[in-house]
Amino acid sequence: MDQDCATLARLLRMTSRRRPASRRRERTRHKRVEILKSAAAAFRRRGYHGASMAEISRALRMTKGSLYYYFRNKEEILYFCHDHSLDILLDLLEDVEADGRAPDDKLRRLVVSFVHMIIDELQGTALTMDLQALSPPLLRKVIAKRDRFDRGVRRVLQDGMDRGVFARGDPKLLAFAILGAVNWITRWFDPRGPASSEEIGEAFADYLLAGLRA
């Protein structure tokens, strides 16, 4: 569990390093991620349309003017929420696919880290949240990245089937089931509850892998 969280933290740093390396830009990106987490919590409580820029700025103890310095509008926050999170998941996928572990170990890492992303990075907000609120150009960008991650999960599943680790099935449908199960966490997750993201991630990985094994 600790290794998976450490890997995700490392990938977060790698994602930041691939952006232009000036100190000012790094500080700006760090602040945008901080705003993202506060906005994601507001979106979870009130929904995208119900959460206002004023509410987000109050949670951060910022003026609305300061918030607008980092994001032009609420749609830009929503887009960054998806884009930033998908960048991290795609980095994770690349790291997992390059790893020499068995397919079931690879899938476990993906599931545990995805759960950690949903609960800790996105404050219990689903990556499917309010996609239609994005303008068509931004929506196409998010869907393209989401589909890349989806295809990567399918490749891990297909590899597991080919090697006899997983029972035969439709990788596309199985990927939908896995990703849908993780995104559904947002419907019942209570941050005041006793289970940590690592515990929930491991439990989900146990259940999902048990249903896949040959």
CB 78, CB 71: distance < 8 Å: no
CB atoms within 10 A of CB 209: 19
Q: According to the model, what pLDDT value does residue 94 have? A: 95
CB 2, CB 19: distance < 8 Å: no
Q: According to the model, what pLDDT value does residue 160 have? A: 97
Q: According to the model, what pLDDT value does residue 13 have? A: 64
Stretch 122-149: mean pLDDT: 87
Q: According to the model, what pLDDT value does residue 109 have? A: 95
What confidence tens digit (pLDDT) does each residue in 29-49 have?
Answer: 888 888 888 888 888 888 888
Q: What angle do CA 135, 141, 145 make, to 5 degrees?
A: 140
Model confidence at 96: pLDDT above 80 = yes
For helices 2-18 and 197-212, angle between their N-to-C axes, nearest 10 degrees: 100
Stretch 134-140: mean pLDDT: 94
Model confidence at 138: pLDDT above 80 = yes
- Residue 23: burial class (beta carbons within 10 Å; 0-12, 13-18, 19+): exposed
Model confidence at 176: pLDDT above 90 = yes
Rounded to whole angstroms, the Cα distance separating 23 from 189 reads 36
Model confidence at 21: pLDDT above 70 = no
Q: Supply φ then ψ for residue 179, to 5 degrees.
A: -70, -35
Rounded to whole angstroms, the Cα distance separating 152 from 29 reads 27
What confidence tens digit (pLDDT) does each residue in 98-127 have?
Answer: 988 999 999 999 999 999 988 888 877 777
Rounded to whole angstroms, the Cα distance separating 93 from 70 reads 29
Prediction pTM value: 0.81
